[in-house]
């Protein structure tokens, strides 16, 4: 039985939060059992260096490449990924993951996941989360997510100072209803690439 191997290459260590996203996309569309490898330690330097190294250390059938758009148009980031992939001898198929601004913009859509990740699932504090149509327009989605996590924790004083939203954000990705991401154009673009890949590599079949 075929097992599809996917490798995820990201911009930084905090972008490990994209692992549940990749898992969701494969669970939704892969006709085969699958496993995901995380390209640990390959976060710095140009993609032309990182991608060949990732494939050497984490060989795969399908490569997921993450680049935050930040202040750059998403089309520019996609061209950057495509150009780096063209330089690889016999490259695998690849999927571009390009959140507008940064990955945290994809983690602002599930209030309950944020409350649970903050350790206060029954909390009622107002989190002031933006609507889905606005998350990709935020200047600093990371700051907004951390602000929401701190508010959701409902901690004060020393306990508030001890709370680490940097760690809690990883749980948000694990807990949230990832189907909500379909309301965000940059995620919808990533999913369309995954659908196209599997449409070109065999129809969904019973395993």
The reply to whether 166 and 185 lie within a common domain is no
The reply to whether 86 and 110 lie within a common domain is no
The reply to whether 10 and 88 lie within a common domain is yes
Each residue's pLDDT tens digit in the chain (207 positions)? Answer: 689 999 999 998 889 999 999 999 999 999 999 999 999 988 888 999 999 999 999 999 999 999 998 888 889 999 999 999 999 988 889 999 999 889 999 999 999 999 999 999 999 999 999 999 999 999 999 999 999 999 999 988 888 888 999 989 999 999 999 999 999 999 999 999 999 999 998 654 434
Which pLDDT score, from 0 to 100, does residue 202 have? 61
With a CB cutoff of 8 Å and minimum separation 6, the contacts of 207 are 1, 31, 32, 33
The reply to whether 35 and 118 lie within a common domain is no
The reply to whether 89 and 150 lie within a common domain is no
Q: How many domains in the chain? A: 2
Which pLDDT score, from 0 to 100, does residue 203 have? 54
Which pLDDT score, from 0 to 100, does residue 140 have? 93
Rounded CA-CA distance 64/24 in Å is: 13
The reply to whether 56 and 143 lie within a common domain is no
The reply to whether 83 and 112 lie within a common domain is no
Domain span at 48: 4-103+181-199
The reply to whether 46 and 92 lie within a common domain is yes
At 24, list the tokens: 């969701």
Eight-state DSSP code of residue 91: P
The reply to whether 96 and 164 lie within a common domain is no
Query: Are the C-beta atoms of residues 64 and 8 closer than 8 Å to each other?
Result: yes
Q: What is the CATH number of the domain that holds 35?
A: 3.40.50
158, part of any domain: yes
Which pLDDT score, from 0 to 100, does residue 204 have? 45
Which pLDDT score, from 0 to 100, does residue 5 have? 97
3 state SS of 54 = helix
The reply to whether 68 and 120 lie within a common domain is no
């Amino acid at each position: 039985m075929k097992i599809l191997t996917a490798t995820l290459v990201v911009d930084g260590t905090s972008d490990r939060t994209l692992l549940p996203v990749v898992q969701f996309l494969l669970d939704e569309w892969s006709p085969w059992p699958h496993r995901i490898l995380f390209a640990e330690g390959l976060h710095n330097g140009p993609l032309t260096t990182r991608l060949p190294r990732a494939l050497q250390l984490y060989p795969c059938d399908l490569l997921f490449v993450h680049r935050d758009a930040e202040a750059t148009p998403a089309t520019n980031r996609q061209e950057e990924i495509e150009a780096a992939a063209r330089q690889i001898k016999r490259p695998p198929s690849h999927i571009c993951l390009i959140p507008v601004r940064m990955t945290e913009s994809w983690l602002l859509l599930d209030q309950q996941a944020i409350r649970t990740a903050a350790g206060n699932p029954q909390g009622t504090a107002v989190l002031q989360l933006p609507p889905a149509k606005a998350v990709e327009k935020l200047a600093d989605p990371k700051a907004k997510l951390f602000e929401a996590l701190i508010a959701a924790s409902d901690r004060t004083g020393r306990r508030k100072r001890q709370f680490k939203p940097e760690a809690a954000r990883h749980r948000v990705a694990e807990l949230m209803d990832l189907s909500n991401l379909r309301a965000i154009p940059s995620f919808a673009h990533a999913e369309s690439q995954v659908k196209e890949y599997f449409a070109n590599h065999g129809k969904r079949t019973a395993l």
